[in-house]
Structure 1
Amino acid sequence: MPDELDVLERHPKTAKPGEVMRPHNLMCFGCGAESPHGLQLEMYAGEGFTVEAKMPVEQWMEGGPGVIHGGILSSALDDVMGMTPRLLGPPGVTVHLQVDFLQPIPVGKTLHLRAEILGRQRRKIYTEGVAHLGDPERPVARANGVFVTVDVREHFAEHVENSAKAAEYMGGKPQL
């Protein structure tokens, strides 16, 4: 993380602590309520610059026998950390993701996810994510990410027609 960081200021229109945050988009694998094969995470704004979510570890998420697949865990951490830029204003996209897997996570448990903004430098937002099984003092995974804020309409303009919800996004109904 760079030495010189911008002052963080929570956007006045973002969700207040304890409120549900709006999904990235309807079909987002991580938080989209209409993603048929997604995680459908419901995320909550926390105090300061944090976001929290819970995720039941279901059988379809299995990687090794009886434990979550690392890619599913990475996706969940990426999505929770990727929600943090909204606390400051414009959404961001992942440019760097690093996950440390500390312990196997059994199928049938509930994973608690928490992400926090560590700092910002212009468009880059530096984040940290932690996953645990109910005891924050015993993390099962840690992650670091860098997100770059974007103009969503411009950033996805060349690809929006590939979305299952293209007609809605291009018709101006729901926003990305």
Structure 2
Amino acid sequence: MAEPLDPDGFAIEPSASGRLLCGGCAPDEACRLGVEIAGTQDGALRCDVTCARQWHGGPGVAHGGWIAAVFDDVLSMVVLRTEPRLVTKSLAIEYLRPVPVERPLTVLARIGTHAEGRWEVSAQMTLATAGPPLATARAELRTRRRDHYARHRDWLARQPVPHCNGFDTES
């Protein structure tokens, strides 16, 4: 990965062990969401994952935010094998059945279309033992502009800093 002094040089590339990990997980060489690339299946990237109990949203079921984060990670991974500079433009999840915690799951992700730095990708999550989809997702990913993070840093520097209670009470 690039030096922190050059945020726009940041790219997700395989680590020393060959894993594709986001910027938050790469230093520990472990995905905090539990996603493991398992290979390919019928032309799709296959990932294995188990929702740890700490990510539960209701009794025995995964939090929807964990499901969305897993999909965002896996949908990016299917493209990161080709393009290391990506951002997610949109992500849509359809929750079909409760996703159980502490049960092995499989996520299959595939590239639908790709043109001019725009990637349409989709995925589905099932129990590892098969069965109907528990959730599906689709996303639009974009090849990141060279100045993406610098533009963000400059924009953020122009934004007012909120008061300590989080709300600006001035009108």
Q: Which TM-score bucket, shorter chain as reference? A: 0.5 to 0.7
Distance 1:47 1:139 in 2: 16
Q: Which amino acid aligns with 1:156?
A: Y
Q: Is residue 76–residue 86 contact of structure 2 (8 Å, CA) maintained in 1?
A: yes
Distance 1:47 1:111, change over 3 A: closer
Offset, 1:48: 8.2
Distance 1:67 1:47, change over 3 A: closer
TM-score with structure 2 length normalisation?
0.68
The structure 2 residue matched to 1:132, chosen from 126, 139, 146, is: 126
Match of 2:142 in 1: 148
Instruction: Could you list the structure 1 runs, at least 4 aligned residues long, displaced by more than 3 angstroms after superposition.
Output: 47-50
Offset, 1:33: 5.9
* 5+ residue gaps, structure 1: 1-13, 160-176
Match of 1:108 in 2: 102
Q: Is residue 85–residue 91 contact of structure 1 (8 Å, CA) maintained in 2?
A: no
RMSD of Structure 2 on Structure 1 (CA): 2.9
Counterpart check, 1:119 vs 2:113? yes
Match of 1:64 in 2: 58
Query: In the TM superposition, what whole-angstrom CA distance separates every residue of 1:71-126 from its partner, at most 9, and x where no partner exists?
Result: 10010011100112223334311101000111111222112112110011211100
The structure 1 residue matched to 2:79, chosen from 74, 85, 98, is: 85
Counterpart check, 1:24 vs 2:17? no
Q: Is residue 21–residue 45 contact of structure 1 (8 Å, CA) maintained in 2?
A: no
Q: Which amino acid aligns with 1:99?
A: I
Q: Is residue 108–residue 124 contact of structure 2 (8 Å, CA) maintained in 1?
A: yes
Q: Is residue 106–residue 127 contact of structure 2 (8 Å, CA) maintained in 1?
A: yes
Which structure has greater strand proportion? 2
Q: Is residue 49–residue 117 contact of structure 1 (8 Å, CA) maintained in 2?
A: no
Distance 2:65 2:97 in 1: 14
**How many residue pairs align between the two structures?**
138
* 5+ residue gaps, structure 2: 1-12, 154-171
TM-score with structure 1 length normalisation?
0.66
